[in-house]
Structure 1
């Protein structure tokens, strides 16, 4: 499996709008086992994204999907920056194969 954990700094006051865009644009992504958008309880302008994929190729392919491209285009103006990006190798867990 292939995993990603990312910290996104939103433009002030736009966290919920960005979360909505990310959640709406990611309903059908082949190879995606989990895609979690979470608020940072200690910072009103931060989202954490946790992704688990069957493999890195599935993640890469998802970036070409029309719905994902649309979410990226709509969300980009609401992003102040990407503060952290970690690649992981998930071993398993609740809800994972």
Structure 2
């Protein structure tokens, strides 16, 4: 079974686009991390709100990814523009299109 995570990021005013750029860099940095099955960045109708959907092989793989140098660097770049990071929920994806 996989480990899934939905996270909501709220930025300071007019910083949403910058956060999107940073999160897409994070996604690109995970390209060869085989334990990361999905890292999707999206927006909602709420201004300055960005959502990230992650699916990992397991929770330990996700935790390990937070220690990667590229991830740590991007977190430090994002901190000054963030107002709130809210883990909406964790789930256990069972499969479907895009998951083997």
TM-score, normalised with respect to structure 1: 0.92
Gapped runs of 5+ residues in structure 2?
A: none
Alignment of 1:7-86 (within 5 A): 7-29=8-30, 30=33, 31-40=35-44, 42-86=45-89
Q: How many residues of Structure 1 are paired with residues of Structure 2 in the alignment?
A: 96
Partners in 2 of 1:90 and 1:47 — Cα distance?
21
Structure 1 residue 75, shift from structure 2 partner: 0.6
**Alpha-carbon spacing, 1:63–1:83, altered in 2? closer, same or farther (3 Å):** closer
RMSD: 1.2
- Bigger Cα displacement from structure 2, 51-60 vs 17-26: 17-26
Structure 1 residue 25, shift from structure 2 partner: 2.5
Instruction: After the TM superposition, list the runs of 4 or more consecutive aligned residues in structure 1 that deviate by more than 6 angstroms.
Output: none
Aligned to 1:87: 90
Structure 1 residue 37, shift from structure 2 partner: 0.7
Gapped runs of 5+ residues in structure 1?
A: none
